[in-house]
């Protein structure tokens, strides 16, 4: 019809591009239509007619079967095979799901609860030490097969410094509460100063631990269930602990042996280990605010080397030794768009 109307307008003396503009198309579209053997609308989202599509009567039969007393508590993945056992084929399993979804019946059948969506934890930022801590528990193997010691570890996410740790035989909220109280006393934490992030384990949400945090004025924060990325700093520290060359090849013979080894590891980690997440300064240097001076010297050293050997750098900048600024825990999209000088965490 559009081609006929345009041809009539052109024969009457109108310009082709003016006639096509009236219909909201271009001359190129008109030429393509004239050359096409099939004028079916090929645009995305255009109405389609499928000759083998299920009819309304067939869809109603499928709904009746799904809602029958025999199948009302079963999903299509269970209904379709059972119908096939009876020599009945009505439609594919995906068609069953589409029909149920179109009728608003794609909910869980039976008594099983539908999967729930847990919102992402609050995004916390740290611009100085003792603002945001994270903690977790990991297993240390013992000489008895199937038995483990538990290492409780508190970490400052700004400096990556281990601010408290203990090793126990069991996993109890009481042990975590005592450790937290000692760490707050040692670092002079005031009420309302600190956020403590942890996963959803029993000791983390135990009544004793929560009561202690409330008494100390510490804000609790928790990960989503079964999402380790929500507590990346503690997980990363545990990987460093278990893959460090000095980690014992044999299980710990006693609780005192495990505590002695962890003591040496924490000392090394805080005072000797150059952490990649804080521009390769030690956590203790970062915690005490010494990283700015150290990184300034590194930048000056690299700039001097570039002046002495410019051909090695050509037009490239020296290595970035700028101090890490704000450190984020579980940042939202707005935080992820901040400048690269800010340290972002998963």
Look at residue 275 in the predicted model and tell me its pLDDT.
96
Q: Where are the domains of the chain?
A: 2-34, 64-102, 124-284
> Mean pLDDT, to the nearest integer, of 47-66?
87
Spatial neighbors of 22 by CB under 8 A, at least 6 apart, are 9
**Structure confidence at residue 271 as a pLDDT band (50, 70, 90):** very high
Dist CA 249 CA 266 (whole Å): 18
Position 342 scores a pLDDT of 43
Closest by CA position to 128, among listed 217, 194, 186: 194
Write down the pTM of the prediction: 0.69
Check residues 44 and 144 and name the one with the higher pLDDT: 144
How confident is residue 185, by pLDDT bands cut at 50, 70 and 90? very high
Percent of the chain past pLDDT 90, that is, above it, reads 66
Beta-bridged to residue 252, according to DSSP, are 142
124-284 is classed CATH 3.30.420.10 = yes
pLDDT tens, residue by residue, 291-310: 999 999 999 999 999 999 99
CA distances from 246 to 163, 241, 274 (A): 21, 9, 16
Instruction: Kindly state the average pLDDT of the residues 214-238.
Output: 89
> Left (φ > 0), alpha (ψ -120 to 50) or beta: where does 314 sit?
left
CB 76 within 8 A of CB 66: yes
Check if the beta carbon of residue 164 is closer than 8 Å to that of residue 185.
no
- Is 191 a residue whose pLDDT tops 60? yes
Q: What is the 3-state secondary structure (H, E, C) of the chain?
A: CHHHHHHHHHHCCCCHHHHHHHCCCCHHHHHHHHHCCCCCCCCCCCCCCCCCCCCHHHHHHHHHHHCCCCCCCCCHHHHHHHHHHCCCCCCCHHHHHHHHHHCCCCCCCCCCCCCCCCCCCCCEEECCCCCEEEEEEEEEEECCCCCEEEEEEEEECCCCCEEEEEEECCCCHHHHHHHHHHHHHHHCCCCCCCEEEECCCHHHHCHHHHHHHHHHCCEEEECCCCCHHHCHHHHHHHHHHHHCCCCCCCCECCHHHHHHHHHHHHHHHHHCCCEHHHCCECHHHHHCCCHHHHHHHHHHHHHHHHHHCHHHHCCCCCCCCCCCCCEEECCCHHHHCCCCCCECCC
Measured in residues, the chain has a length of: 346
What is residue 330's predicted lDDT score, i.e. its pLDDT? 87
Residue 341 pLDDT = 43
Tens of pLDDT, residues 164-178? 999 999 999 999 999
């Amino acid at each position: 019809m559009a081609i006929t109307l345009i041809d009539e307008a052109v024969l009457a003396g109108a310009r082709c591009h003016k006639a096509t503009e009236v219909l909201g198309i271009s001359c190129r579209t008109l030429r393509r239509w004239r050359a096409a053997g099939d004028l079916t609308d090929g645009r995305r989202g255009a109405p389609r007619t499928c000759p083998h599509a299920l009819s309304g009567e067939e869809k109603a039969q499928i709904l009746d079967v799904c809602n029958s007393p025999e199948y009302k508590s079963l999903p299509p993945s269970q209904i379709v095979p059972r119908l096939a056992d009876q020599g009945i084929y009505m439609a594919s399993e995906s068609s069953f799901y589409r029909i149920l979804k179109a009728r608003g019946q794609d909910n869980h059948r039976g008594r099983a609860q539908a999967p729930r969506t847990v919102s992402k934890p609050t995004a916390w930022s740290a611009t100085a030490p003792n603002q945001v801590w994270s903690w977790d528990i990991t297993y240390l193997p013992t000489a008895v097969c199937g038995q483990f010691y538990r290492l409780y570890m508190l970490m400052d996410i700004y400096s990556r410094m281990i601010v408290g740790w203990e090793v126990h035989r069991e996993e109890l909220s009481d042990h975590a509460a005592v450790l937290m109280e000692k760490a707050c006393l040692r670092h002079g934490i005031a009420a309302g100063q600190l956020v403590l992030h942890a996963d959803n384990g029993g000791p983390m949400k135990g009544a004793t631990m929560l009561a202690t945090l409330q008494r100390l004025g510490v804000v609790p924060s928790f990960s989503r269930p079964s999402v380790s990325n929500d507590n990346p700093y503690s997980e990363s520290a545990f990987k460093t602990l278990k893959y460090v060359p000095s980690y014992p090849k044999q299980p710990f013979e006693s609780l005192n042996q495990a505590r002695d080894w962890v003591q040496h590891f924490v000392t090394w980690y805080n005072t000797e280990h150059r952490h990649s997440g804080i521009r390769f300064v030690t956590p203790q240097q970062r915690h005490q605010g010494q990283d700015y001076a150290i990184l300034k010297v590194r930048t000056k050293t690299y700039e001097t080397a570039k002046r002495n050997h410019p051909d090695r750098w050509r037009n490239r900048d020296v290595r970035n030794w700028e101090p890490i600024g704000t450190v984020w825990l579980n940042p939202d999209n707005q935080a992820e768009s901040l400048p690269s000088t800010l340290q972002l965490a998963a």
